[in-house]
Amino acid sequence: MTLNAQRSNKNWLVAAATVAAAAILPMTQTSTVSADDTKDNGDTHNSWRAKTVEDVKSVLLTAGKEYQVQSGDTLSTISEATGESVDDIAAANGVSDIHMISVGEVLKLDVDGADKATTLQSSEVQKPAAQATPETQAVEAPQATQPVAAQTVATTQAAAPQKVAAPTYNTAGNSYPAGQCTWFVKNALSWVGNNWGNASGWASSAAAAGRVVNGQPAVGSVVVFAPGEMGAGALGHVAVVDAVNGNSVSISEGNYAGMAYHTRTISASGLTFIH
- 62 lies in some domain: yes
- 85 lies in some domain: yes
Closest CA to 195 of 220, 165, 172: 172
- 77 lies in some domain: yes
pLDDT attached to residue 266: 96
Closest CA to 111 of 131, 133, 94: 94
| Domain end point (choices 74, 95, 113) | 113
- 65 lies in some domain: yes
- 22 lies in some domain: no
| Domain end point (choices 113, 130, 153) | 113
* Strands (E) located in 24-157: 66-68, 106-108
Q: Distance (Å, rounded) from C-alpha 76 to C-alpha 178?
A: 22
User: From the centroid of its chain, how far is CA 151?
Assistant: 51
Q: Is residue 55 classed as helix, strand or coil in its secondary structure?
A: helix
Q: Which residues contact 88 (CB under 8 A, 6 or more apart)?
A: 111, 115, 116, 119
- 135 lies in some domain: no
Q: Which residue segment(s) compose the domain that 253 sits in?
A: 181-274
The packing angle between helices 75-82 and 86-93, to 10°, is 110
- 171 lies in some domain: no
CB atoms within 10 A of CB 212: 12
pTM higher than 0.85: no
Identify the CATH number of the domain in which residue 59 sits.
Answer: 3.10.350.10
Whether residue 270 is found in the same domain as residue 185: yes
Alpha-carbon torsion 116, 119, 124, 127, what sign?
negative
- 214 lies in some domain: yes
Whether residue 186 is found in the same domain as residue 269: yes
Per-residue pLDDT of the chain (275 residues; tens, 9 = 90+): 555 555 555 555 555 555 444 444 444 444 333 343 334 444 444 455 677 877 777 776 666 677 788 877 787 887 787 778 888 888 888 888 877 778 888 877 766 644 544 444 444 444 444 454 444 444 444 555 555 555 554 454 555 555 544 556 888 899 999 999 999 999 999 999 999 999 999 999 999 999 999 999 999 999 999 999 999 999 999 999 999 999 999 999 999 988 999 999 999 999 999 99
Identify the CATH number of the domain in which residue 234 sits.
Answer: 3.90.1720.10
Number of domains in the chain: 2
CB atoms within 10 A of CB 244: 16
Closest CA to 99 of 182, 50, 169: 169
Which amino acid, 216? Q
What is the DSSP-derived secondary structure letter of residue 219?
Answer: T
| Domain end point (choices 93, 113, 133) | 113
